[in-house]
Amino acid sequence: MATPKTPDSTRRSERSRRAIFDASLELIGEVGYDKLTIEGIAARAGVGKQTIYRWWPSKAAVLLDAFLADAGDEEIELPDTGDLAADLKAVLRASVDEFNNPAFEAPYRALAVAGANDPELSEQFVTRLQETGYQAYVNRLRHAQEAGAIAADADPRIATEMLLGPFFQRWLMRSLPLTHDFTDTLVDMLMRALAPR
Amino acid sequence: MATPKTPDSTRRSERSRRAIFDASLELIGEVGYDKLTIEGIAARAGVGKQTIYRWWPSKAAVLLDAFLADAGDEEIELPDTGDLAADLKAVLRASVDEFNNPAFEAPYRALAVAGANDPELSEQFVTRLQETGYQAYVNRLRHAQEAGAIAADADPRIATEMLLGPFFQRWLMRSLPLTHDFTDTLVDMLMRALAPR
Amino acid sequence: MATPKTPDSTRRSERSRRAIFDASLELIGEVGYDKLTIEGIAARAGVGKQTIYRWWPSKAAVLLDAFLADAGDEEIELPDTGDLAADLKAVLRASVDEFNNPAFEAPYRALAVAGANDPELSEQFVTRLQETGYQAYVNRLRHAQEAGAIAADADPRIATEMLLGPFFQRWLMRSLPLTHDFTDTLVDMLMRALAPR
Amino acid sequence: MATPKTPDSTRRSERSRRAIFDASLELIGEVGYDKLTIEGIAARAGVGKQTIYRWWPSKAAVLLDAFLADAGDEEIELPDTGDLAADLKAVLRASVDEFNNPAFEAPYRALAVAGANDPELSEQFVTRLQETGYQAYVNRLRHAQEAGAIAADADPRIATEMLLGPFFQRWLMRSLPLTHDFTDTLVDMLMRALAPR
DNA sequence: GCCTAACCGAGACGGTACGTCTCGTCTTTAC
DNA sequence: GTAAAGACGAGACGTACCGTCTCGGTTAGGC
C-alpha cells in the first residue's frame, strides 16, 4: 500500500477502506480530478474526514491505492507466440482500447497528472503502475533477443520506450488520436530498428 | 494569443498585461503550479483580480500566454548540416539541457499538466507550444527523405514521435533521468529504423 | 439643489439628469436602498458612471435630489378651519396614508436611514425634507396660540415633536401599525396638554 | 439570542463567540456601521469568516447579539418615588446622557438604522432592545394610574410614545440637540395631558 | 460657421468585500 | 475506544461595486 503511516494497524476498518476506494473511483469519473475533494470522498463514503487523513497524505494517494486495489499489483506477462511483431501489435491494440475506455482512463490520467506535478507521487505512480507494464515489454524483447530474433546490441529498455513513449504521449496530451493503425506503425518502425544485422 | 475575449480591445493596459506575465512566471518558479493563485498573481503584479478575470478564463490560460510572450511564437528550424544523425543529436542535447533547467521546466511542466487535465487547454498547449517543435523535426526529416538519406516509405511524423515521445515521457513522469546519452541512443535507434533499404 | 459642484453649468445635460432621477426612484423601489448602486443607476439611466460622480457625491445625494425633484421644495401650509384638533387629525390622517404608500415610503425611508447614518446627510434630510413639514405644524399651533385656543406658555415646537415623533417612530421602526386611530389619539392627548388654563 | 440557526449546538466555540462580539463592538466604534465588515470582524477576532457566516445571517445580526450580550436581556424597572414627574425626568436625563455617549450610541444607532432598512431585523430590534425600555415606562404609568395620580382614561402606551418618540427622533435624525431641558419639558407637557380630570 | 472646450457614453483599471468552498486540524458525541 | 460528525482558522474562489481614469464622439458657445 502507498500508506506511509502505520500500515500494520489492525484497528483499521476494512469496511471504511473499501467505501473510500469505491467513493474515490466513482467521484473521479463523475467530477474529474480537480473537483475531487477529500470532503466529497468522505461524504460519499459515509466516513469522517479524519479517517481519510489518518491513513493517506493526499487525495492522489487515496486514488492510487483505490486504483491498485481494483487493478491488482500482479505481474504482467506479454504473449510469446514466436512472432514478436504480432505479439506487440496485439498487446498494443488491447492497450489502445483500454486507454480509450473512460472508466479506465479517468483515474489513470488523474494519477499520471498528479504524478507529473508531484515528484514524490510520480515515483509511486511510475514504480507501482507504469513500470509493471514496461517491464513486460522489456522481458518479451529480451526473450526475442536471446532467441536471436532481434539485434544483440539493441537496448530492450530503449526499444520499449520508443513504443510506449509515443503511445503515452498521444494519449496524455491528446495530440493525435490513439488508434490501432498508429500502434501497428510504431511496431513496424521498431522492428526495422531492431532487425539483426 | 489564447485570450478568447475581445483580444482586439484597444483599451487594454499593456503595462498590466506585462506585469501579470512577469508575476506569473516568477510565482510559478517560487511556489509551483498548485499553489499558484489568481489572487497571488494579481497581488504580485499590482493589479486588480478583475483585470485577470476579464482577459483570461483560468490561471492556466494566463500562464500559457505568459510563457508564449517570453518564448515567442516564431517558427523553429532545425540545423541541416547534411548529417541527419548529428543534427538530431545536437538539437536533442540542447533540449535535454533546456528541460533540465528549472526556469524553463517549471512553467512548461505546469502547462503540460494543466493540458493533460483539461481537453480545451491541451489543444492550446499542443498546437501553440508543442506542435511548433514537432513540425521542425518533421520538416528536417522530410528534407532528408527528399535527399534520399532515409527510407522513402517512412513516416516522418511517426519517426518524430518515436524520438520526442520517449523524451517527453521521461521528463514528465521522471521515470528515468533525461541525459545526452539517452537522446543519442534514441537517435541511433531511429537511424536504423529509417535506413534506406 | 444638493449638488455642491458647479450647479450653474449650462453645459449639463438635462436629459441625463432626468434619466438618473427616474432610474434612482425606480430602482429604490425595486431593490431597496442597500442594493441600490451607482453602477445600477448609470446602467438603467443609460448614462456613464462619471456623469453621476461628476454631479453628486453619493447615492444618497442623488436620491435626495431625485426625491425633491418629484416632491418639490414648496412651502407647505396646514388648513386652518378654526378647529385645531380637527385640522391636525385631518392632516395626520393624510400623512398616515402617504407613509403607508410604498411608492412614497421607499425613497423617503431610504433617505431617513441614510441620514441617520451620515451626519452630513442628515442635515440635508432634516432641513430640506423634514423641517418643511414640522414648520407647518409649528405655524398652525402658533396661530392657535395667538387666537388663545391653546395655552400661552406651551412651546409649539415641542408640541409638534410630541405629535410627529411618535408618528415617525412607529413608521420608521415598524414598532406598531400606523393608523388613523393612532394619530387621532395622539391629537386628543396633545389637546389636553395644550388646553388653556 | 438572534441566531436563527441551531442555537442549541453544544459544539459551538464560546471563545470564538466572545471574540466576535468584542471585535464587533470595537470596530463599530472605530469605523462605523457602513465600514464594518464581516471580514474585518473575523480578522480582528482571529476567527475564520465561515465561523461568522455559520451562526449569523448578517453583520446586523452579529451586532445585535453582541450588543445584547453586553446589555443583557434583563427586565428593566423605573424608580417609583411616588412623584411620577420627577421619576420620569430622572430616568430620561440618564437616557439623554447614555445616548450622548459614543460607546453606547454607535452600536445602538447602527442597529436602529439596520432595523429601519430591514423589516426582519427591525422586529428583532424592537422586541429585544426597544420594547424592554418602553414596557418599563408603560408599567410605571399604569402604577400611577392605579394610584389615581393620572387620568383613568389615558393610554399608558400612547403616553410613553409621546415621551420616547420625540426623544428617539431627535437623537436619530439629529434634528435638534438632546438635552435635559428637552426631556424635562416633554415630561411637563405629558403631565398636563395626563392630569386627572 | 468654425473651434475648442466641456460633457457625454462607455468601460478598463486598482481595490475591497462579498458569501462560498475546501483545506487540514481539533473536539465532541454516540455507539 | 474508535470513528462519525462537524466546528474551527485559514485562505482562494469568482463576482459585484467602488471611485478614478482614459478614451473617442457629440454638442454648444465664443470668436
Question: Is the CB of C172 less than 8 angstroms away from the CB of D119?
Answer: no
Q: Compare CB distances from B158 to A115, A116, A186 and report the shortest one's residue.
A: A186
Does B109 contact chain A (CB < 8 Å)? yes
DSSP B175: S
Give the integer Cα–Cα distance in Å for B143 and B137: 10
Is chain B touching chain C, with at least 3 CB–CB pairs below 8 Å? no
- Is B62 buried (19+), middle (13-18) or exposed (0-12) by CB count in 10 A? buried
Asked if residue D5 keeps its beta carbon closer than 7 A to nucleic acid strand E, the reply is no
Question: Is the CB of C166 less than 8 angstroms away from the CB of D170?
Answer: no
Q: Which residues of B touch A164 (CB under 8 A)?
A: 169
- B146-195 residue pLDDT tens: 999 999 999 999 999 999 999 999 999 999 999 999 999 999 999 999 99
Give the integer Cα–Cα distance in Å for A38 and A61: 11
Which residue in this structure is represented by grid cell 505546469? B110
The three three-digit cell numbers of residue D26, written as one number: 470595537
φ, ψ dihedrals at C114, nearest 5°: -60, -40
Residues in A 76-105 with any Cβ partner in B closer than 8 A: none
- B12-37 residue pLDDT tens: 999 999 999 999 999 999 999 999 99
Q: Which residues of A touch B161 (CB under 8 A)?
A: 165-166, 169-170, 186
pLDDT < 50 positions in chain D = 1-7
Q: Which residues of D touch C185 (CB under 8 A)?
A: 155, 158
Q: What residue spans in chain C does CATH classification 1.10.10.60 cover?
A: 11-68
Asked if residue A37 keeps its beta carbon closer than 7 A to nucleic acid strand E, the reply is yes
Question: Is the CB of B192 less than 8 angstroms away from the CB of A189?
Answer: no
Question: Is the CB of D125 less than 8 angstroms away from the CB of C173?
Answer: yes
- Collapse the DSSP code of B90 into the 3-class scheme (helix H, G, I; strand E, B; otherwise coil) and give the result: helix
Q: Which of A158, A161, A183, A184 best tests the B interface by mutation, with the highest count of B CBs <10 A?
A: A161
Q: Compare CB distances from A125 to B117, B168, B173 and report the shortest one's residue.
A: B173
Question: Is the CB of B116 less than 8 angstroms away from the CB of A173?
Answer: yes
Q: Which residues of A touch B189 (CB under 8 A)?
A: 154-155, 158-159, 162, 193
Amino acid at D157: R
Chains in touch with B (≥3 Cβ pairs < 8 A): A
| Number of residues assigned to chain C | 197
Question: Is the CB of B185 less than 8 angstroms away from the CB of A34?
Answer: no
CA of B74 to C1' of E23 (A): 42
Three-state SS string across chain A, please? Answer: CCCCCCCCCCCCCHHHHHHHHHHHHHHHHHHCCCCCCHHHHHHHHCCCHHHHHHHCCCHHHHHHHHHHHHHCCCCCCCCCCCCHHHHHHHHHHHHHHHHCCHHHHHHHHHHHHHHHHCHHHHHHHHHHHHHHHHHHHHHHHHHHHHCCCCCCCCCHHHHHHHHHHHHHHHHHHCCCCCCHHHHHHHHHHHHHHHCCC
Question: Is the CB of C117 less than 8 angstroms away from the CB of D33?
Answer: yes
pLDDT for residue B71? 74
* Strand E nucleotides within 7 Å of a protein CB: 6-29
pLDDT for residue A30? 86
- C100-152 residue pLDDT tens: 999 899 999 999 999 998 888 899 899 989 999 999 999 999 999 999 999 99
Sequence-distant (6+) residues with CB within 8 A of B15 are none
- B63-110 residue pLDDT tens: 999 999 987 666 789 999 999 999 999 999 999 999 999 989 999 999
Asked if residue D29 keeps its beta carbon closer than 7 A to nucleic acid strand E, the reply is no
Does C75 contact chain D (CB < 8 Å)? no
Question: Is the CB of B130 less than 8 angstroms away from the CB of A173?
Answer: yes
Give the integer Cα–Cα distance in Å for B28 and A3: 29
Q: What residue spans in chain B does CATH classification 1.10.357.10 cover?
A: 84-194
pLDDT for residue D2? 42
Three-state SS string across C136-175, please? Answer: HHHHHHHHHHHCCCCCCCCCHHHHHHHHHHHHHHHHHHCC
pLDDT tens digits in sequence order for chain A, 197 residues long: 444 444 444 556 788 889 999 999 989 988 888 889 999 999 999 999 999 999 998 888 999 999 888 776 667 889 999 999 999 999 999 999 999 999 889 889 999 998 998 888 898 899 988 999 999 999 999 999 999 999 999 999 999 999 999 999 999 999 999 999 999 999 999 999 999 97
Asked if residue B21 keeps its beta carbon closer than 7 A to nucleic acid strand E, the reply is no
C84-194: which CATH topology? Tetracycline Repressor; domain 2 (1.10.357)
Task: Specify the CATH class of A11-68 in words.
Answer: mainly alpha
CA of A50 to C1' of F10 (A): 18
Q: What is the CA radius of gyration of chain A?
A: 19
pLDDT for residue C73? 61
pLDDT for residue D7? 43
* Strand F nucleotides within 7 Å of a protein CB: 1-24, 28-29
Q: Which residue of B has its CA nearest to A158?
A: B186
pLDDT for residue C120? 86
pLDDT for residue B51? 97
The per-residue b/e assignment along D143-181, b for 16 or more CB within 10 angstroms, e otherwise, is bbbeeebbbeebbbbbbbbbbbbbbbbbbbbbbeebeee
pLDDT for residue A131? 93
Q: Which of D169, D176, D181, D186 best tests the C interface by mutation, with the highest count of C CBs <10 A?
A: D169
Residue B107 and residue B125 in contact, taking contact as beta carbons nearer than 8 Å:
no
pLDDT for residue D1? 38
Question: Is the CB of C113 less than 8 angstroms away from the CB of D109?
Answer: no
pLDDT for residue C5? 40
Does A162 contact chain B (CB < 8 Å)? yes
Give the integer Cα–Cα distance in Å for C126 and C161: 13
Chains in touch with D (≥3 Cβ pairs < 8 A): C
CB pairs under 8 A between A and B: 121
Positions 42-61 of C with beta carbon below 7 A from strand E are 45-51, 54-55
Q: Residue closest to E20, CA→C1'? A: D50
Give the integer Cα–Cα distance in Å for C112 and C107: 9
Give the integer Cα–Cα distance in Å for D97 and A47: 58
Which residue in this structure is represented by grid cell 423634514? C130
Asked if residue B49 keeps its beta carbon closer than 7 A to nucleic acid strand E, the reply is yes
Residue D187 and residue D92 in contact, taking contact as beta carbons nearer than 8 Å:
yes
DSSP string, chain D: ----S-TT-TTS-HHHHHHHHHHHHHHHHHH-STT--HHHHHHHHT--HHHHHHH-SSHHHHHHHHHHHHH----------S-HHHHHHHHHHHHHHHHT-HHHHHHHHHHHHHHHH-HHHHHHHIIIIIHHHHHHHHHHHHHHHHTTSS-TT--HHHHHHHHHHHHHHHHHH-SS---HHHHHHHHHHHHHHH---
Asked if residue A122 keeps its beta carbon closer than 7 A to nucleic acid strand E, the reply is no
Is chain B touching chain A, with at least 3 CB–CB pairs below 8 Å? yes
Which residue in this structure is represented by grid cell 453586553? D70
pLDDT < 70 positions in chain C = 1-10, 72-74
